[in-house]
Amino acid sequence: MRLLHTSDWHLGRAFHRVGMLGAQAEFIGHLVTTVRERDVDAVVVSGDVYDRAVPPLAAVELFDDALHRLADLGVPTVMISGNHDSARRLGVGAGLIGRAGIHLRTDAAACGTPVVLRDAHGDVAFYGLPYLEPALVKDVLGVERAGHEAVLAAAMDRVRADLATRAEGTRSVVLAHAFVTGGEASDSERDISVGGVSAVPAGVFDGVDYVALGHLHGCQTLTERVRYSGSPLAYSFSEAGHRKSMWLVDLAADGAVTAERVDCPVPRPLARIRGELEDLLADPGLTRHEDAWVEATLTDAVRPADPMARLAERFPHTLSLVFAPERAPDGPDASYAGRLAGRGEQQIAEDFVAHVRGAGPDEHERAVLRDAFDAVRADETAREAVR
Ligand SMILES: [Mn+2]
């Protein structure tokens, strides 16, 4: 059976101030063409279909268009919700579109109930594990202490238990939206680490033939059988070095996996350039970036006048400007955003305690902070769910 694995479409998301709907529509066209031309038997979409819980109308229309085109091809599709999706909203109508062969799995309680597809060699069971927010699904999954590893392990126990009841030789595919240890993050995934360690070891997925992961935006291979497709488009400059792709996976009769990368269309390349303004405007080595979306880091000791307009004369698609005077990169005049960059909520809170008191939090105080973040997050997600 031949699968096409993709994830993290983030329909409706903008890249800095540039709307990406046109590029997202082009990707959907590329997906449909790939399904047709490469004789794909099933499409798997591993979460973050939308960028937010209540997506803009144009994004909903694009998703609707994608569903119609996939249904017209007659190729079954299995999808799960990610941490950016509202599982409840996305799941509305799932029963109906299931009749058209689009299987949308958004309910943690149904982890152990697969979509079973068939080929000449027998059954393939697809288990869709939607993004599992520990605090919200721990009771459903019968887990005592909420944590990413604990809830995923419980969900996988259900998968293996169901698989054990199926005919000998049944092959299996799991869709999951999670941060798996060894994966490399970028700047465009929303942090899920509130509540402790977010990374789960790849070993929790043992016992299935292929694990189609979503969440991390770079295409990557953790093991032959455990892969991220990454997002089809770059959503931050930290992805300037990515080649966006999907995985075309052949699942042999004995469950052996062969995977091929299928590259996605690139709407416009990304470039990160760094130096003093006059050098950036003159350097002949930067000619190749003139048509790119550019992030420029200016190292001038004194901030030059009107830098954006001047850069735009040479790089008309400059989207981001960063000031990093080389005299004192981390000095007292570093910007607020600069000082927060790369630190999680927990770390910022702990550093704040250290800053005002002179001594950082002890183990007990750290736990209090963690619980407070958990409560806020669970409350937010619960409100999102009932809205
Ligand atoms: Mn994502």
Predicted local confidence at residue 329, as pLDDT: 47
Predicted local confidence at residue 39, as pLDDT: 97
- What separation in Å is there between the alpha carbon of 49 and the centre of ligand 1? 8
- What separation in Å is there between the alpha carbon of 212 and the centre of ligand 1? 14
- What separation in Å is there between the alpha carbon of 261 and the centre of ligand 1? 19
- What separation in Å is there between the alpha carbon of 187 and the centre of ligand 1? 10
2-263 fold:
Purple Acid Phosphatase; chain A, domain 2 (3.60.21)
Predicted local confidence at residue 367, as pLDDT: 93
Neighbours of ion ligand 1 (CB under 5 A): 8, 48
- What separation in Å is there between the alpha carbon of 43 and the centre of ligand 1? 18
Helix (H, G, I), strand (E, B) or coil at 32: helix
Q: Residue ranges of the alpha helices (H) in the chain?
A: 21-37, 57-73, 87-91, 94-98, 134-137, 148-164, 277-282, 307-314, 336-340, 345-357, 363-386
- What separation in Å is there between the alpha carbon of 10 and the centre of ligand 1? 7
Average predicted confidence (pLDDT) for the chain: 93
pLDDT in tens, 262-300: 999 999 999 999 999 999 999 999 999 999 999 999 999
Predicted local confidence at residue 294, as pLDDT: 97
Question: Please, are residues 270 and 237 in contact by the beta-carbon 8 Å criterion?
Answer: yes
What is the mean predicted confidence (pLDDT) over 59-69?
A: 96
Best CA proximity match to 116, nearest among 166, 66, 49: 166
- What separation in Å is there between the alpha carbon of 13 and the centre of ligand 1? 11
pLDDT in tens, 32-59: 999 999 999 999 999 999 999 999 999 9
- What separation in Å is there between the alpha carbon of 73 and the centre of ligand 1? 26
pLDDT in tens, 115-152: 999 999 999 999 999 999 999 999 999 999 889 999 99
- What separation in Å is there between the alpha carbon of 193 and the centre of ligand 1? 14
- Residue type (1 letter), 355: H
Predicted local confidence at residue 332, as pLDDT: 56
Predicted local confidence at residue 194, as pLDDT: 60
- What separation in Å is there between the alpha carbon of 50 and the centre of ligand 1? 9
Predicted local confidence at residue 191, as pLDDT: 83
Instruction: Name the DSSP letter for residue 287.
Output: G
- CA 17, CA 109: separation in Å to the nearest integer? 39
- What separation in Å is there between the alpha carbon of 32 and the centre of ligand 1? 21
- What separation in Å is there between the alpha carbon of 144 and the centre of ligand 1? 27
More confident residue, 185 or 246: 246
Express as a percent the part of the chain with pLDDT over 90.
79
Residue 377 has pLDDT above 90, yes or no: no
What is the dihedral sign for C-alpha 306, 307, 313, 315? negative
- What separation in Å is there between the alpha carbon of 329 and the centre of ligand 1? 31
Parse the chain into domains and list their residue ranges: 2-263, 270-326, 345-385
Question: Please, are residues 98 and 77 in contact by the beta-carbon 8 Å criterion?
Answer: no
Question: Please, are residues 279 and 304 in contact by the beta-carbon 8 Å criterion?
Answer: no
What letters, b where the CB count within 10 A reaches 16 and e where it falls short, cover 24-57? bbbbbebbbebbeeeebbbbbbbbbbbbbbebbe
Q: Extract the tokens encoding 65.
A: 């268009």
Reported pTM? 0.83
Best CA proximity match to 153, nearest among 163, 143, 140: 143
- CA 65, CA 34: separation in Å to the nearest integer? 16
Residue 258 has pLDDT above 90, yes or no: yes
- What separation in Å is there between the alpha carbon of 186 and the centre of ligand 1? 10
- What separation in Å is there between the alpha carbon of 360 and the centre of ligand 1? 33
Burial class from Cβ neighbours inside 10 Å (0-12, 13-18, 19+) for residue 91 reads middle
- What separation in Å is there between the alpha carbon of 275 and the centre of ligand 1? 31
